Structure 1
Amino acid sequence: MALCPIANRDLTSSPAFVGKKRPIHHIKITGFVKTHGAFRIFCWRWLDTFGGDVLKKGAVVSSVFTYIADLLFPLSCKMCGISIRMGETPGLCESCWSTIQFLDGPCCPRCGKPFASEAALSYSPNHQCGDCREKPPYYDRAISVAHYDKALAEAIHLFKYSKKTQWSRPLGRLLLKRVSDLGKFDVILAVPLHPKRLRQREFNQSLLLAREVSLETGLPLQVDNLCRVRWTQPQIELNGEERRKNVRRAFEVKRPDQVEDRCVVLIDDVFTTGATVNECARILKRAGAKSVAVLTLARMV
């Protein structure tokens, strides 16, 4: 594959890379004249991919490379403004990154809603929240990595709306922290965007996250089997009931035989009311999926 650092393309969106070795050009680069940050991330990815052989010959090569990049292309933390070295998480310093509030306390085993205390689980380890008991969701389990707050909210915002696709890797690694909690599953899918919105944003952030999980776990990622067939109003503008009505019948499974009798993991970036992932789960179950587990980066609590 020829590298073209000024090409306005996101090569990672190609199905050709699904299940394949991570390409060098794993980020979208819109041109050196627009931002030097893309070049730094490109260098970082190059070292991450090929650095093993280089470091066997001497760690000094990596140190010199990092020093030159820091000198010529300085970056600052998007939250606190301090300088960031190339080896740190892109966009935020390690200090701000460490402020992420992980959801590791007691929560509903069905929807993942945090409980006020562990007393809620004293009845049974499988004790569900009132909402799930009153109206069980179509998905079997939902897990979020952390609260949608501070550093993680900033990272997700940069990722989605500032086209910082290099965030897919560190955010994808966060998802991997909770993959084992989902149990055994067979296939990975991402919440799809409508083609019109995909053209506007130029990438599907949920698909990039799902690709990271697929690359690390070796499990197959179905890129376009679950699709959005109806344009919907942005969910951020709606309340809970409006969200549910907004996404009703908005999704479709193209090839039901590829999810039939399989345990599916559905990946998205943020869990707010759960309306979108629940509608996706309904469609997947109707197509024959054995179970649907939802994995998201953050949860609006």
Structure 2
Amino acid sequence: MSLNACVSCGGRVVSQAREAAVRHWARQLSRQARYPVIYRLLAGLSICAGCLETLPVIGDDICRHCGRDQESCEGNGELCQDCTQLHEEALERNRSLLHYNDWGKSLLGLYKYRGDERLASFYGTLLAVTFLRYYDPAQFTCITTVPLHGKRLYERGFNQVDLLATELSRASGVPVRSLLQRTKETAKLSKQRGRIARQESMREAFSWAGDTVFPIAGASSYGPSKILLVDDIYTTGSTLRSCATTLRAHLGPFYEIHSLTIYR
């Protein structure tokens, strides 16, 4: 596929035809001071005007914990129905950019299972846009990723999320650190039935793999230091919460664990 082709439909990426769509999304997704940065990120995406216009972007009315679109679910006004049942969460909150629809499943599968490297840049840029939409990079100590089990890594040949984190770090200036390892081989979450089964499968699935000595954050005018946990998709949140629990157990209360995904 040509480098100038749309990663979604294969059509030509013509910048002049995309200008209105880029400006629209830059206005929708940025605070005023960040408009120029988000505009440049969106303008650099390898996606045609038609596909850019129809991106399934999550709106502003979201669950304050998991980032789910509140217009499509029931909740108490601030939390979705699922999050009202959570207690003492190690994961502070999650934020995502896109609805996980059939288009997203197809495109993400092309990246994860067929290794289309252009999508690493595409998705990494979308993560950067999401990060700037919801977070202040200056408050984060580092970015870390959800690791694959060794067997899955061998089969796939790469951890797709590691490449996205590298792109995100380049755009945000926040360094990437490998803090976790996967110690439990689990079935793909798509093969597991029900929320309870997913939660049980991810219990104690990760262990600390960072430096023996990790800087202990102190309280500041901004509050606790923050770690950004990155994955490609938030489904039930079981994987991200398991990772956050491991991080919190090692790092203690001086760090907040926030997560960022492309799809929700």
The bucket for the TM-score relative to the shorter chain is 0.7 to 0.9
Among residues 185, 188, 192, which one is paired with 1:234 in the alignment? 188
2:68 aligned with 1:113 = yes
CA distance in 1 between counterparts of 2:62 and 2:100 reads 16
Among residues 240, 260, 263, which one is paired with 1:295 in the alignment? 260
Among residues 240, 249, 259, which one is paired with 1:286 in the alignment? 249
2:12 matched residue in structure 1: 84
2:52 aligned with 1:131 = no
Among residues 274, 286, 292, which one is paired with 2:237 in the alignment? 274
CA distance in 2 between counterparts of 1:209 and 1:260 reads 26
CA distance in 2 between counterparts of 1:120 and 1:278 reads 20
CA distance in 1 between counterparts of 2:113 and 2:174 reads 28
Counterparts of residues 16-35 of structure 1 (less than 5 Å): none
Structure 1 pair 204–133 and aligned structure 2 pair: CA distance change class (3 A): same
CA contact (8 A) 2:7 2:119 kept: no
* TM-score where L is the length of structure 1: 0.65
**How far is the alpha carbon of 1:131 from its aligned partner?**
3.1
CA distance in 2 between counterparts of 1:120 and 1:245 reads 24
CA distance in 1 between counterparts of 2:168 and 2:216 reads 21
1:265 matched residue in structure 2: 228
Query: After superposition, what is the alpha-carbon deviation per residue over 1:109-164, rounded to whole angstroms, capped at 9, x for unaligned?
Result: 111122138x9787xxxx33343333233200100101012543332121111111
Aligned-pair identity in percent equals 27
Among residues 121, 129, 135, which one is paired with 1:182 in the alignment? 135
Return 5+ residue gaps in structure 1 as ranges: 1-36, 45-74
Aligned length: 221
Counterparts of residues 140-159 of structure 1 (less than 5 Å): 140-159=92-111
Matched AA of 1:84: R
Matched AA of 1:297: I
Comparing both chains, which one has the higher relative contact order based on Cα–Cα distances under 8 Å and sequence gaps of 6 or more? 2
CA distance in 1 between counterparts of 2:258 and 2:108 reads 21
CA contact (8 A) 1:194 1:231 kept: yes
Describe the SS at the equivalent of 1:270.
coil
Query: After superposition, what is the alpha-carbon deviation per residue over 1:80-113, rounded to whole angstroms, capped at 9, x for unaligned?
Result: xx643598955x6442243211112311111112
CA RMSD, Structure 1 to Structure 2 (Å): 2.8
**How far is the alpha carbon of 1:267 from its aligned partner?**
0.5
Matched AA of 1:129: C
Describe the SS at the equivalent of 2:263.
strand
Structure 1 pair 146–83 and aligned structure 2 pair: CA distance change class (3 A): closer
Matched AA of 1:199: Y
**How far is the alpha carbon of 1:77 from its aligned partner?**
6.7
* TM-score where L is the length of structure 2: 0.74
CA contact (8 A) 2:230 2:260 kept: yes
Moved more, 279-288 or 181-190: 181-190
CA distance in 2 between counterparts of 1:200 and 1:89 reads 29
Structure 1 pair 178–278 and aligned structure 2 pair: CA distance change class (3 A): same
CA contact (8 A) 2:14 2:49 kept: no
